Structure 1
Amino acid sequence: MTIKRFTVAQHERALVWKNKTFAGVLEPGKHWLIAPMSDIVVQVYDLTAPEFEHARVDFLVTEARDTMEKYFDIVELTESEVGLVYKNGKLTGVLTPGKRQLYWKGPIEVKVEKIDISSDLEVPERVAKLLARAKQPLLAQATDAVSTVEVPDTSVALLIVDGKFVKLLDPGLHVFWKFQRTVKIELVDRRVQTMEVSGQDILTKDKVSLRVNLTALWQIEDVVQARSGLQNFVEYIYKELQFALREAVGSRTLDELLSAKGDLDREIQASARGKIEQHGIELASVGIKDVILPGEMKEILNRVVEAEKVAQANLIKRREETAATRSLLNTARLMDENPTLLRLKELETLEKVTEKVDKLTVFGGLDGVLKDVVRIQVPAN
């Protein structure tokens, strides 16, 4: 027989095994053990790490439960329960469903809050932020335990659990338990979106090849309806706008297309809107942004435009000449009817002429200027 002394510190506890059988727990102090040393095993634990991990923990709880309850807080969770671990009032860990965990009773106060996740998969708001923004060492457990989404105020989110749509999530922070389920969250932007349908090569009714660019504004009105009816609603909108554009351009000649662009926009919007809006998507506006012609067609149109402008210029010129002639005719009639007006016009002309004459010799005084320089033949009555 051998006598062996063991000392257990104030912050320690020890498990004693004799002949591979649990013999008890040693508290702080000096202890004398009498037995063959090969038959005694002493396992010392530091209480500053309150979690008790042992290969035979299930055996100890079952066969020595009274002893275990004296020295440990025993936490046993069902398959539908999650445990929130608080040490000295601070959240430090998460226990998974079905977990059995023992904590030493000692300097660190450990409390475990049990939460039933069978009916409510959302994490309570009071701890949601703690888990969503956790830091190490809690971060690793929180990442495995919860799914987190922060929905911006411009969006809405769809909560999908095990492949089934559950509900819409309003803007804000949402945290869900991941245990025993697959949680998926889809964000959808509710703002007005811009879509470009670019580089569409289309033949007009008169066989002219054009390249057309289209711009559309759209917005999700019913998120659930859009998701349930369409696999990819962005691609669907693009295709419907593309089809409507080709149909509208292909049914018009080039002249009709260029002369009534507004009608084309309205026709495309009306054609695409009925198919798009039945899926909960609003088509706010549609507009042709660019109509690009082939090089030779540009030259032809430029010549046509040039000829039209020349014809317009000639027409304006002829109108001005006609107006000037009509004005001269009216002036001549007035002078013919009024000799004095004619005389005043002659004197006005004489004034303009004398402005350019350097020297003028007048004979006969003022009467010579008025009567001899310019003579007026007054028609006889």
Structure 2
Amino acid sequence: MLNNKIQRITVKKNERALLLRNGDFDRVLQSGTHWLFAGLDTLRVETFALEQPAFTNGLADYLMAQEPTVVAANFVQVNLSEREVGLRSENGVLVEILPPGTRRLYWKGLVDVAVQVVNLQNGAELPSDLVARLTQTQLRQRAVTGLNGVLQVQVPEGQCALLTLDGKVERLLTAGAYAFWKYGRTLAVELVDLRLQTVEVSGQDIMTRDKVSLRLNLSATYRITNVLQAFAQLQKPADYLYRELQFALRAAVGTRTLDELLE
């Protein structure tokens, strides 16, 4: 709080300050020394460290609506629509994914803040160069925030993935890394093993035609060759195969006598 005398205020080189007169915004104070005369007014100065560029002050909406010149001179402004997301970088490094509808201000002057706007109507899939930047976040000194709006998919060698968009099969993903925007969409991915697999039907108690009780096990190998066709017709192809083998085993044993089975 400043009294009615002339006061000297120093704003450091890594700071900016807001001058409030009687509680209302007056102006932005740049780094340097400022002489302020209060008169009959009540002055207050709020300082901000530029190392943290996000401007979270309650005056943000007022400044964006009523002080466009001040905003243009001092801030990077973000104003995303409901169909846009933002890729926010600091000094050339991706640090945050901004969701649709974001309205924010970031101080200029120390940290180089840039926001790339992405139109969600251009498709759900992220470009490969952006996917590579997202999949290595654990190796960064600073993690990317806002990843809850992105579905990341890693398909191993020997497998594929069935991508479902809004309840409909969209496409088949081969081995590799993918990412998709989840905003405004319902996405699901199911991994499918394309290698030779084994299914075991164990402990089946079956009675032969001549009433002899047997406990049998059956082992079979299979490989899915047409994933789209298999999942278009069956929700769980592996479960279906297990049941079909179980029924076939019972039919083969139950219609024969023990002697016929031993021949």
Q: TM-score, normalised by structure 1?
A: 0.64
Task: Find the counterpart in structure 2 of residue 189 from structure 1.
Answer: 193
Task: Find the counterpart in structure 2 of residue 75 from structure 1.
Answer: 78
Distance in 2, matches of 1:120 and 1:248, equals: 52
1:21 and 2:54 matched: no
Q: Quickly say closer, same or farther: Cα 1:210–1:192, change in 2 above 3 A.
A: same
Distance in 2, matches of 1:163 and 1:133, equals: 30
Contact 1:159 1:169 in 2 (8 A): yes
Task: Find the counterpart in structure 1 of residue 157 from structure 2.
Answer: 153
Distance in 2, matches of 1:48 and 1:209, equals: 79
Contact 1:161 1:181 in 2 (8 A): yes
SS in 1 for 2:122: coil
Pairwise CA distance, 1:4:
2.0
Query: Highest relative contact order (Cα 8 Å, sep 6+), 1 or 2?
Result: 2
Select the residue among 48, 58, 65 that pairs with 1:62: 65
Contact 2:20 2:26 in 1 (8 A): yes
Contact 2:134 2:144 in 1 (8 A): no
Select the residue among 175, 180, 183 that pairs with 1:179: 183
Percent identity of paired positions between Structure 1 and Structure 2: 44
Select the residue among 246, 250, 262 that pairs with 1:242: 246
Correspondence 1:330-345 to 2 at 5 A: none
Correspondence 1:96-175 to 2 at 5 A: 96-135=99-138, 139=143, 141-175=145-179
- What amino acid is the match of 2:9? F
SS in 2 for 1:114: strand
1:198 and 2:163 matched: no
Q: Quickly say closer, same or farther: Cα 1:104–1:203, change in 2 above 3 A.
A: same
Pairwise CA distance, 1:225:
2.4
Distance in 2, matches of 1:94 and 1:202, equals: 59
Select the residue among 247, 252, 263 that pairs with 2:256: 252
Task: Find the counterpart in structure 2 of residue 92 from structure 1.
Answer: 95
SS in 2 for 1:129: helix
**Which has the higher mean CA deviation after the structures are superposed, 175-184 or 62-71?**
175-184
Q: Deviation per CA, 1:287-346, whole angstroms, max 9, x where unpaired?
A: xxxxxxxxxxxxxxxxxxxxxxxxxxxxxxxxxxxxxxxxxxxxxxxxxxxxxxxxxxxx
* Unaligned runs of at least 5 residues, structure 2: none
- What amino acid is the match of 1:57? A
**Alignment RMSD, CA only?**
1.9
1:51 and 2:54 matched: yes
Q: Deviation per CA, 1:127-166, whole angstroms, max 9, x where unpaired?
A: 2122122146753614323111110121110112233221
Higher strand proportion, which one?
A: 2
Select the residue among 224, 228, 232 that pairs with 1:224: 228
Distance in 2, matches of 1:7 and 1:169, equals: 59
Q: Quickly say closer, same or farther: Cα 1:55–1:119, change in 2 above 3 A.
A: same
Correspondence 1:311-330 to 2 at 5 A: none
Task: Find the counterpart in structure 2 of residue 208 from structure 1.
Answer: 212
Q: Deviation per CA, 1:186-215, whole angstroms, max 9, x where unpaired?
A: 101011211111222222222222222211
Q: Deviation per CA, 1:223-255, whole angstroms, max 9, x where unpaired?
A: 222223223222211111111111111222222
* Unaligned runs of at least 5 residues, structure 1: 260-381
Pairwise CA distance, 1:59:
0.9
Q: TM-score, normalised by structure 2?
A: 0.91
SS in 2 for 1:220: coil
Higher helix proportion, which one?
A: 1
Which has the higher Rg, Structure 1 or Structure 2? Answer: 1
**Which has the higher mean CA deviation after the structures are superposed, 206-215 or 133-142?**
133-142
Pairwise CA distance, 1:36:
5.4
Pairwise CA distance, 1:37:
8.0
